[in-house]
A and B are shown apart, each in its own frame.
Chain A
Amino acid sequence: MLFRIFRVSGDSMLPTLADGDFVLAKKLNENYLDGNVVIINDTAHGFIIKRIKELNKKEFAAYGDNKDSNSDQCFGLYTPEDLKFIVKWKVGFRGISKI
C-alpha cells in the first residue's frame, strides 16, 4: 500500500506530533532526506516514529522532537531497510497540517 494511516502513541515528537494524532505516511522508496519524520520498523520497539539524521548513506540516527525524548544513543542506528514510511500529513485535534 502506497499510503497508510498510523496513530501516534507517546509524546516524544512534541510539539510536531502529539499523543493520539493521526499521520498519513507514504511508503519510503525514494531518497532519504535528512531531517524528515519517518516511521521505522525497530526490532525491539516495533513501529516507531522519529526524525532522522543522515550520518552517511548506510546509517541513520533517530531522535524525537521533544527535548525530553530518548536520545539517539538509546535507540541506536538504523539502516535504510529499517525506514519504512515517510510522514506527509498529520490530522490532530487542533487541525490538519503538512509535516
Chain B
Amino acid sequence: MTRIIDNKYDYQVLHMLKLSSYIFYSIILSIIIYPNSALSHLAPLVEPEYGQQIISLSLIIILSGFGFCAGICMLYMLKKSAYLVNLLLFSFILFESYHHLRNESLLLHIEFITLSLLFFLLTWQFVYFLSRLILNNRLILSKFFYVILEKLDIFFAFTKVKAHCDIPCKIYDPHIAIVSALTIVRLIDIIEETKKNNNIDDLNLQNTLIRCVERKEFESEKVKAEIRVIWGDYFKDVQLEAYPDTHNIVHCIMMLSSKTKQTIDRKVALELVDEINKFASIFWSTKDVETEKVISPYPPSIEIIRPKL
C-alpha cells in the first residue's frame, strides 16, 4: 500500500478503488434485498395484494437531504451540527420504521432501516466524492469557467474596463521628442551633404541615403508618439484651461512631423523643432519648472528648451 500511494496518480487510483467498493457493496446489498418477497413491494402498486412501497420517493429525497447536510457538516468540521443531523435522522428512521413494524412485518421493518441507511450513507459519500473531485480539479474547473467566459465574450462582447498605465508612470518628458526632431534636422543635413557629392551613383552613398530616409521616417513617427502620449495622458482640463494653445501646437507638431517624412526641407524640420520647444515650454510651466533656451551641444547645434534643474 505504501508503494501504491507514492504519488498523486496513485492517490486517484486509490480513490477510484474506494468508490468502486462503495458501488460494489450497494449492488451486493441490492441483490440480497431485491429478490426478497417483501421487497417486491418496491415496485409500484400493480396488484393490491403486494402492498405498499417500502420507501417512497419523498422519503428518498428526505434521507438524501439528511445525508447531504451531514456530509456538509462533516466537511466543514461542524461537529455539533453533524451530531444533530445524525440524531434527527435516526429519530426519523425509528419513527418511520415503528410505523412499518406496527402496520406490517418485522422483515419490512428491517428492510426499511437498511435501505434508509443505505440512501443516507450514499448521499453522504457522494458529497465527499463531489468535494474531493472539486478540490482536486479546482484549477481545471476555474480554467473551465474562464474558457467558457472567453467563448461567451466572442458572442456577447462584454464591456471592457480599462486598467491601462504608462510605464514608467509619472515620467513625462518632451526631451525625447526634441532629440528626435534634432535628429530629423541632422539627417536632412546628411542627405544634403550626400546629394552634393559628385559620385552620387556610388552604392555606398545610396546606402547612406536610404538609411537616412529610413531613420527620418522612424524619428518622425517617434515625435508624434511622444507628443501624443504627453498630450493625451498628462494634459488634463486644468492644464488645458491654463494653456488653451496646447491643442493647436500639438496639431501643428503632428502636421509638421508628417511633412518631414514627405520632404527633405530643412525649414520644415526647424519649424518642427520650434513647435516642440513651445510644447516643452508649456509642459514645464504646468509643473512650475523654470526653463531655459540653450544651443544643443551637438550637430545640428540649434536652440532647444530644457528645464532648469
**Interface residues of A, Cβ cutoff 8 Å to B:** 4-13, 17, 19, 22-23, 39, 44-50, 64, 66, 68-71, 74, 76, 91-96
Contact = CB atoms under 8 A, between A and B. Distances in A.
Interface string B143-161: 1011001000100001111
Given A22-B146, A39-B161, A7 B153 contact: yes
B162 to A, nearest CB: 5
Interface in B25-76: none
A8 B138 contact: no
Contacts of A4: 159
A26 to B, nearest CB: 14
Q: Which bracket fits the contact residues of B?
A: 20 to 34
Contact of A47 (B153, B161, B167): B161
B162 A10 contact: yes
B165 A66 contact: yes
Contact of B163 (A12, A92, A94): A12
A23 B161 contact: yes
Contacts of B168: 68
Interface of B: 138-139, 142-143, 145-146, 149, 153, 158-170, 233-234, 236-237
A16 B163 CA distance: 11
B161 A69 contact: no
Contacts of A96: 142, 145
B169 A91 contact: no
Contacts of A74: 169-170, 233-234, 236
Most buried by A among B145, B146, B168: B146
B159 A48 contact: no
